Amino acid sequence: MKNDLTLRSAIDLLKKGEITSADLVEKYLGSIDRDNKKLNAFLTVNEKALEKAKAINNRPNDEKPLLGVPIAIKDIFLTKGLRTTASSKLLDDYIPQYSATVVRLLEDAGAIILGKTNLDAWCHGSSTETSDYGPTRNPWNLDHVPGGSSGGSAAAVAGDLAICAMGTETAGSVRGPAAWCGIVGLKPTYGRVSRYGVIAMGSSLDSPGPLTKNVEDSALLLNVIAGNDPYDATTSALKSDDYTKFLKKGVKGLKIGLAEDYLLPQMDEEVKNLVKNTAKVFEKLGAKVEIAKTLDPRLAIPVYTVVQRSEVSSNLARFDGIRYGNGREYFSEEAKRRIMLGTFSLSTGYQDKYYKKAQKVRTLFIENFALVFKKFDLLIGPTMPGPAPKIGVTEGQAMFGEMADVLTEPTSISGLPGISVPCGFVGGLPVGLNIFGPQFSEGLIIQTASAYEQATQWHEKVPEMIETL
């Protein structure tokens, strides 16, 4: 089996009987055993994975779409009977009594949970450096961060410790690590995928999404996890689609806006040039690309900060150490900072000044995007302002995450879908292209990302796990 085994190729090999589910699980358990000490991508390995795989080997006629495929799960999803920590020592020995809807849907489709991946504790960060279990490292250069908070999932896929993985995004936590690890990260429309059983950070922002080696694999996973959930009132009643049917439609006739305001003045010129070059690719494929004016994405930073901190202060109140988990003294400094700022923003005399004002500006972003998408089918821009920085970059930088995610925060606070695909390298590190559109335009986004992917070879490059120190 090749190191670049994809979800689609694994499914095809399983159906043909050329490999077994046990073969796949053993391959990735071996990869974890060999390389996880370098990457620190997995926190928990599912000891029952191989047993489940062997049982599946005896069901050759089962037509489940993901039958026998091992998948990594960000350790923010509840997994029945399998330790879930949110990368916090507060939940060090927590074993959930039920699984998140996303996990249940994946298992119902035949997938095998390979293990749980590292993240910034409680999802508080964009580098995995706030994890109580140590930072994850970037497979392209072990001295650099993989991004976050879904950094463990992204590093596992890029480093071939997993075929694919699940993450969650609140500001840029799927697309950001996908960009910095050179893979594909899909953030669905808010409400397209259930949040039930996901340990909440920002309840009006959180969006589960897949991290994969190519666009097709993201479409395959979205087919399984998308849809209305009676356990989550924020999920949409709109019927989900077969997203694989968009993969070969091309972009001829589409009007794509190059988001000029997302090419920030302080941004690395090489990153700007890579993104501008993607416009040329789309034009050659038959799309019309023009400069698009939007609200300055930097205006989303204070909006996201106030809204997210406020929701954190509410969501973390339940972790009191009485019914489960350890006491609140186990909260890290980052969690305490966010709780305190959120509580302050919601306190009497300050709620109107901060929280309500942030929500008003949030509405302005939503309205501005609605106007822009009357002129353009989609927008494109860089996913992150630059390539992955070195480990230690967050030290003394309380706002690192918000600054790093500046280009994905506008779409997250607006509930819009987006996808990051590899579009080049700067200094030997990957750079991602962010493709985003109106609410529930996942099909069009997948269509556009797939066309770009088929016209380039960036997604075919794999890291060698180098270390520069």
State pLDDT tens for residues 172-189.
999 999 999 999 999 999
Mean pLDDT calculated for residue range 241-252 = 98
- Residue by residue, DSSP assigns 230-283 as TTBTTS--SPP--GGGGTT---TT-EEEEEGGGS-TTS-HHHHHHHHHHHHHHH
In the CATH hierarchy, which fold is given to the domain comprising 7-460? Amidase signature (AS) enzymes (3.90.1300)
Mean pLDDT calculated for residue range 95-109 = 98
Mean pLDDT calculated for residue range 106-124 = 98
- Contact between 320 and 328 (Cβ < 8 Å): yes
Query: Which residues contact residue 48 at a Cβ distance below 8 angstroms, ignoring those fewer than 6 apart?
Result: none
Q: What is the pLDDT of residue 2?
A: 45
Checking if the pLDDT of 157 tops 70, the result is: yes
Q: Dig out the tokens for 141 from the structure.
A: 């250069």
Quote the CA–CA distance of 37 and 251 in Å, as a whole number.
42
Q: What is the pLDDT confidence band of residue 57, given thresholds at 50, 70 and 90?
A: confident
Mean pLDDT calculated for residue range 33-40 = 97
Q: What is the pLDDT of residue 60?
A: 59
Q: Counting runs of H as helices and runs of E as strands, what totals does the chain give?
A: 14, 11
- Contact between 281 and 400 (Cβ < 8 Å): no
Checking if the pLDDT of 468 tops 90, the result is: no
Q: What is the pLDDT confidence band of residue 466, given thresholds at 50, 70 and 90?
A: confident
Q: What percent of the chain has pLDDT over 70?
A: 98
Mean pLDDT calculated for residue range 59-73 = 88
What residues are labeled active site? Answer: 74, 149, 173
Q: How confident is the model over 332-358, as pLDDT tens digits?
A: 999 999 999 999 999 888 888 999 999
Q: How confident is the model over 444-463, as pLDDT tens digits?
A: 999 999 999 999 999 999 99
pTM (two decimals): 0.97
Long-range contacts of 351-356 (CB under 8 A, 24+ apart): 354/306, 355/306, 355/307, 355/310
Q: Dig out the tokens for 468 from the structure.
A: 């520069």
Q: What is the pLDDT of residue 59?
A: 65
Q: How confident is the model over 197-233, as pLDDT tens digits?
A: 999 999 999 999 999 999 999 999 999 999 999 999 9
